Amino acid sequence: MKHMNNSVDQQIALFGQSGSGKTALLCSFYGAARDSTQSEGQLFELSAKDDRHTKLMKMYLGMKEDSLAPPQNRFESHKTVFSLKQKNIPIKDAAKSDQVNLTWHDYPGEWFEGGAVTDSEKQDKVETFRNLLGSDVALFLVDGQKLHDYANEEERYLSYLFDGFIENLNQIKDAILEGGKQLQQFPRIWVIALSKADLWPDLQVKDFENLLNKKAGNEIIALRSKLLEFIDNDEAFSFGKDFLLLSSAKFTPGHIDISQRKGVDVLLPLACVLPMQRHLWWQELKVLPINLADILLGNEIAQMGFKIVSKVLKNKVSGTNNKAMAALVFAELVRDMVDQPTELLQKAREEAVGRREFLKAITAEFTRKLNQAEADQVLVRDFA
């Protein structure tokens, strides 16, 4: 079968209070990815559009070379679109090469805490939140510095954190749910992440999960219930079962060591592969309604089912557009690799690179990274 261009689009949204480290995380994520493209064996290169590229690299280099923390973005929301493409593609093949696009949404911390005052700010807040509704994964940040500051009384900070976001959702609910109609399109996977995890060097992700359940179990339940008020088909939803440790660098007085990161390298796999893994799982459990599958997985996948994906591709079903076919290819790849051991994933990656099958190679690599993050006690994924 002649190879066609496959383009897969994913989205991730970050929610965190002011000062929780969202900007530093974004700079570390992008700058480290750009640095790694110089290393031998790197599969892909990550790029952002010109204006965002320059701003992010300026802040990243300030962290890396001058130990300058990025400035806070007060009341500013940013949408950054990244593209992942295979390295060293000949110019004549570039236009038809596979590609993965990731949109990164940042919800300002001041709005997280209900800081919009004027009518224009309130409207911007609603519009920004509405833009996040297409995200596949949402990260809910727990500030490691504040958690450290409230040692032995962590419940005070955690209660403020979770209750504050619930109030924020209450303020925008009527504007988001027009006519009170619940949403089909809404982030279905919410990962609770500890930012500034470098302040907790001995903490494993299960310890973080246990701490939250012990100190803020009621608040987690309350926020989950509030989020469920926004969505239709609530069985295909996860909040409070996926956890991640994140550190954009190691911060000490007067010095930032950008090489000491934790969890940053798993953000791309988390945004790109985890949603498809989870949606496949939900469909297997028959909790993913066909109309929701249309939205989350693509109409062709929902109607045809995953078991006949290979047959569909071989027969080149007429009327199926490239986006839908890319979704079919991606769904099959994720399904085939989700339970594979590391050595088989590595072999699949190497074979795919040799054949210039970028989407297959990236799926193998990202699946392996998710598995490794779990083994390293950085990530907890729930499939129950």
Q: What is the model's pTM?
A: 0.87
**Is 113:85 a contact under the CB 8 Å cutoff?**
no
Question: For 105-118, what is each residue's pLDDT tens digit?
Answer: 888 777 766 655 67
Distances (CA, A) of 273 to 94, 189, 359: 23, 12, 11
**Comparing 50 with 264, which gets the higher pLDDT?**
264
Distances (CA, A) of 248 to 35, 165, 265, 328, 340: 14, 23, 10, 34, 29
Question: For 139-197, what is each residue's pLDDT tens digit?
Answer: 999 999 999 999 999 999 999 999 999 998 998 899 999 888 998 888 999 999 999 99
Phi, psi of 118 (to 5 degrees): -75, 165
Task: Enumerate domains of the chain plus CATH numbers.
Answer: 7-380 (3.40.50.300)
- In Å, how far from its chain's centre is CA 246? 12
- Binned at pLDDT 50, 70 and 90, residue 306 comes out as very low
Question: For 342-356, what is each residue's pLDDT tens digit?
Answer: 999 999 999 988 888
- Binned at pLDDT 50, 70 and 90, residue 234 comes out as confident
| SS3 state at 169 | helix
| SS3 state at 278 | helix
| Least confident segment among 18-22, 188-192, 233-237 | 233-237
Highest-scoring range by mean pLDDT, 82-86, 167-171, 240-244 = 240-244
pLDDT for 356: 80
- Binned at pLDDT 50, 70 and 90, residue 134 comes out as confident
| Least confident segment among 72-81, 88-97, 126-135, 238-247 | 88-97
pLDDT for 41: 66
